[in-house]
């Protein structure tokens, strides 16, 4: 425990800016993965254990597109669209067969695909780790804000994730499709009786969830090494985020992800040997105080 370092940091604007941005970076990438997870659970009532694989595919798709085109924007697009299509096919062909089945069966199918997807990546891209490399446009000196260090690429990353959060929040609350999705989450039988194709909604939501995880993977690709199985560690932290924020809540995912980001960022200064533990401890406290998570709703 190094409380002096923590209090020293809180008293210094440079440290405060650097660590807060660091918390945002960790949090926003986690949010993109976790929000897909929570969306799929909220509507489809399926805990998608294979969600980390979409993060992995997003990174690999982006890297491949970047190698062929040299365009960072196209790489991001390929990462997002590729995983959306993969999500749609996966949901229609496999997941749709286990809706309403025993939760163990759902877990088994998802876990099987965690292994299958990892092997697919191994067969296509090889077992060794890869690196996409930072696009030339972002190979610049970091910005210095109030003495704190902020890399421009991370500003873009935070901006994209916040925009996605805004689009999702407004889209679900204000648009007709959003209302239908919310209705399908609440009472799919009634929505179906009204002549709305629930299969299409389920497929669409799964594709959207996959796309968000894929976008996170694509955004992470320039700064993280790519390996088969890379989605697993992100998945665990995403589950912590959704448990803290409340399963099914987008706002919960955002707040949960930011809290985890800040705990990691400031915890590494004050509790360098207990940063991971701090994260789990926080989750335990939230679960004891509010078993449904910070923004989760009681199931009737």
Partner 1 sequence: MTRTRKPGVSRRATLAMMGAGAVTFATPWVARAQAKTIKIGMPTILSGRVAQLGTSSRNGVMLEVEKVNAAGGLAGRQIEMVIRDSKGQPQEAARVARELVNTDGCELLFDGEASSGSFAVHEVARDLGVLCIHTCSEASSLTADPKQHIPNAFRSVRQGIHDSIVGGSYAAAISKAKGLKKWATCSPDYAYGRDTTGEFTLYLKRFAPDVEIISESWPKLFQPDYTEVVTKILQAKPQALYSCLWGGDLTSYIDQANIYAMFSAMEVFAVNMADYTALTVVKNLPKGIHSGNRYIKTYPATAENAAWGDAYKAKYNEYPTNWSWQNATAVMLLSEAVKKANSTDGKKIADALRGLTIKCPFGADGTVTMRAEDQTLVGYAIGWGTTIPQEPYVPEVKAGDWKTIFELEAEWKKSKGYT
Please choose, out of 14-22, 38-46, 79-87, 88-96, the segment that lies near partner 1 by the rule CB under 8 A.
14-22
Q: CA-CA distance, 209 to 36, in Å (whole number)?
A: 4
Bridge partners (DSSP) of residue 149 are: 144
For residues 151 and 171, which CB has a smaller minimum distance to partner 1 in the complex? 151
Show the tokens assigned to 129: 């780790």
Q: Which of residues 234-253 bind partner 1 (CB under 8 A)?
A: 234
Half-sphere exposure of 206 (CA within 13 A, CB side): 26
Site string for partner 1, 68-107 (x = CB under 8 A): ----------------------------------------
Minimum gap (Å) between residue 190 Cβ and partner 1 = 42
Q: CA-CA distance, 199 to 48, in Å (whole number)?
A: 17
The closest of 90, 92, 88, 96 to 207, measured between CA atoms, is 88
Minimum gap (Å) between residue 250 Cβ and partner 1 = 22
From 45, 120, 229, 292, residue interacting with partner 1 (rule: CB under 8 A): 229
Inter-helix orientation angle 152-174/250-270, to 10°: 150
Q: CA-CA distance, 244 to 267, in Å (whole number)?
A: 17
149 sits near partner 1 (criterion: CB under 8 A)? yes
132 sits near partner 1 (criterion: CB under 8 A)? yes
From 22, 38, 64, 249, residue interacting with partner 1 (rule: CB under 8 A): 22
Q: CA-CA distance, 150 to 142, in Å (whole number)?
A: 5
| Interface with partner 1 (CB under 8 A) | 5, 9, 15, 18-19, 22-23, 25-26, 29, 122, 127-134, 138-139, 141-142, 149, 151, 153-154, 220, 222-225, 227-230, 233-234, 264-265, 267-269, 272-273, 275-276
């Amino acid at each position: 425990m190094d409380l002096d370092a923590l209090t020293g940091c809180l008293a210094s604007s440079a440290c405060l800016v650097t660590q807060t941005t660091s918390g945002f970076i960790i949090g926003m990438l986690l949010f993109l993965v976790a929000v897909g997870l929570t969306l799929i659970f909220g509507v489809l009532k399926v805990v998608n254990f294979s969600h980390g694989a979409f993060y992995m595919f997003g990174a690999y798709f982006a890297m491949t597109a970047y190698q062929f085109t040299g365009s960072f924007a196209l790489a991001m697009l390929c990462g997002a669209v590729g995983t959306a299509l993969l999500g749609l096919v996966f949901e229609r062909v496999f997941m749709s067969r286990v809706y309403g089945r025993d939760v163990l069966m759902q877990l088994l199918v998802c876990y099987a695909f965690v292994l299958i997807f990892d092997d697919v990546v191994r067969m296509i891209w090889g077992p060794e780790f890869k690196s996409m490399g930072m696009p030339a446009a972002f190979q610049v000196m970091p910005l210095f804000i109030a003495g704190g260090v902020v890399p421009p690429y991370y500003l873009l990353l935070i901006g994209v994730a916040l925009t996605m959060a805004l689009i999702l929040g407004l889209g679900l609350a204000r648009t007709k499709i959003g209302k239908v999705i919310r209705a399908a989450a609440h009472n799919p039988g009634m929505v179906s009786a009204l002549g709305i194709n629930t299969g299409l909604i389920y497929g669409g939501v799964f594709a959207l969830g996959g796309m968000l995880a894929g976008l996170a993977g694509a955004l992470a690709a320039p700064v993280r090494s790519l390996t088969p199985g890379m989605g697993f560690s992100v998945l665990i932290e995403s589950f912590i985020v959704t448990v803290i924020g409340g399963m099914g809540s987008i706002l919960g995912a955002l707040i949960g992800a930011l809290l985890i980001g800040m705990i990691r960022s400031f915890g590494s200064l004050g509790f360098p040997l207990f940063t991971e533990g701090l994260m789990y401890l926080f989750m335990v406290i939230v679960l004891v105080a509010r078993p449904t998570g910070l923004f989760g709703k009681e199931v009737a």
